[in-house]
């Protein structure tokens, strides 16, 4: 008997397709969705790591913590584009 996909659809209904990916957890559609979510997660974290290592000049000079920054003092269009 083939394994059933373990993904949950809206309202916690289980996917009724056959689990066909290598580890036997998901059908093709849900395996692709999980893979694309993982790729997006890795890409966004790489962007955040790069931003953390190379902050824009304005943020580098700012003495205010980023969570409290309002950017009210930004007047230059070049700085706005950079941010």
Task: Domain ranges for the chain, please list them.
Answer: 8-82
3-state secondary structure 14-38: ECCCECCCCCCCCCHHHHHHHHHHH
- pLDDT exceeds 80 at position 83: no
* Residue 4 β-bridge partners: 18
Secondary structure of residue 82 in the 3-state scheme: helix
pLDDT, tens digit (0-9, with 9 covering 90-100), for 9-67: 888 898 889 999 888 899 999 999 999 999 999 999 999 899 888 888 877 777 777 77
46 or 82: which leads in pLDDT? 46
Q: Kindly state the helix (H) or strand (E) to which residue 58 belongs, with its residue range.
A: helix 57-61
pLDDT value, residue 2:
79
Mean pLDDT of the region 2-12: 85
pLDDT value, residue 26:
92
């Amino acid at each position: 008997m083939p394994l059933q996909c373990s993904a949950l659809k809206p309202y916690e209904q289980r996917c009724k397709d056959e689990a066909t990916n290598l580890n036997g957890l998901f059908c093709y559609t849900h395996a692709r969705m999980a893979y694309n979510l993982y790729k997006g997660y890795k890409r966004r974290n790489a962007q955040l790591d790069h931003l953390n290592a190379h902050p824009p000049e304005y943020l580098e000079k700012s003495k205010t913590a980023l969570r409290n920054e309002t950017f009210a003092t930004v007047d230059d269009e070049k700085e706005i584009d950079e941010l």
